């Protein structure tokens, strides 16, 4: 008599090992997808911030005669999230004041997300978006324009010299900023 061991199929242990390996792989793929979506949202928010930053640079350059009216961070205040009233420009002539006041009101609305709405919810801006314009030097008309918002996850701490949105997002590692320094030339 010959003793033959014929295996016809998988054992229960082999099936369980294969399921564990498959589940670990699927959990890794799911984690990768979550991280990818988070990074995509961060990149989209950074793009929105850069667009808002360039928008204010253009507005100041277009109304350079009263550029000091745009300096909104001197007293520690910001534009955007949570702002309900704005101060009025008192420099220049009535037309320049009107333009500056309109520019600041429109930029404030953009920072609050008014560019896109779903029902009554404003969804067109970053999370907790704030904007700051600080006059660095009155002598050569240099301004720092900054847009700050709350990121999705922790990263390096923003520079301490840039105070826009500082201590407003809980952990400073959640604060994101983009900033530009401009100098207004005297065209007269």
Q: Where are the domains of the chain?
A: 12-183
State pLDDT tens for residues 118-140. 888 777 778 889 999 999 988 88
Identify the bridge partners of residue 118 per DSSP, sorted by sequence position.
Answer: 121
pLDDT at 2: 60
Whole-model pTM: value is 0.80
Helix (H) or strand (E) holding 95: helix 94-111
Distance, first Cα to last Cα, the chain: 113
H/E run at residue 180 = strand 175-183
In whole angstroms, give the CA distance from residue 5 to residue 120.
Answer: 72
Residue 164: pLDDT above 80?
yes
pLDDT at 60: 94
Among 161, 152, 155, CA closest to 132: 161
Residue 158: phi, psi to the nearest 5?
-65, 155
pLDDT tens sequence across 50-107: 999 999 999 999 999 999 999 876 555 788 888 888 888 889 999 999 999 999 999 9
Q: In Å, what is the CA distance from 120 to each residue of 29, 106, 116, 117, 128?
A: 36, 18, 10, 6, 17
Long-range interactions of 88-96: CB distance < 8 A, separation 24+: 91/66, 92/65, 92/66, 96/63, 96/65, 96/66, 96/69
């Amino acid at each position: 008599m010959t003793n033959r061991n014929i295996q016809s199929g998988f054992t229960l242990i082999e099936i369980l090992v294969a399921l564990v390996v498959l589940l670990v792989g699927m959990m890794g793929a799911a984690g990768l997808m979550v991280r990818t979506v988070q990074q995509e949202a961060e990149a989209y928010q950074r793009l929105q911030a850069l667009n808002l930053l360039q928008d204010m640079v253009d507005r100041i350059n277009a109304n350079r005669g009263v550029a000091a009216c745009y300096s909104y961070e001197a007293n520690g205040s910001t534009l955007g999230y949570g702002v309900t009233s704005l101060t009025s420009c008192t420099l220049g002539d009535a037309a320049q004041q009107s333009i500056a006041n309109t520019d600041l009101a429109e930029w404030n609305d953009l920072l609050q997300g008014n560019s896109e709405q779903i029902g009554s919810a404003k969804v067109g801006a970053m999370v907790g978006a704030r904007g700051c314009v600080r006059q660095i030097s009155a002598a050569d008309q240099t301004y720092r324009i900054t847009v700050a918002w709350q990121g999705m996850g922790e990263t390096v701490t923003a520079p301490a010299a840039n105070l826009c949105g500082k201590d407003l997002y809980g952990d400073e590692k959640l604060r994101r900023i983009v900033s530009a320094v401009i100098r207004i030339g005297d065209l007269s």
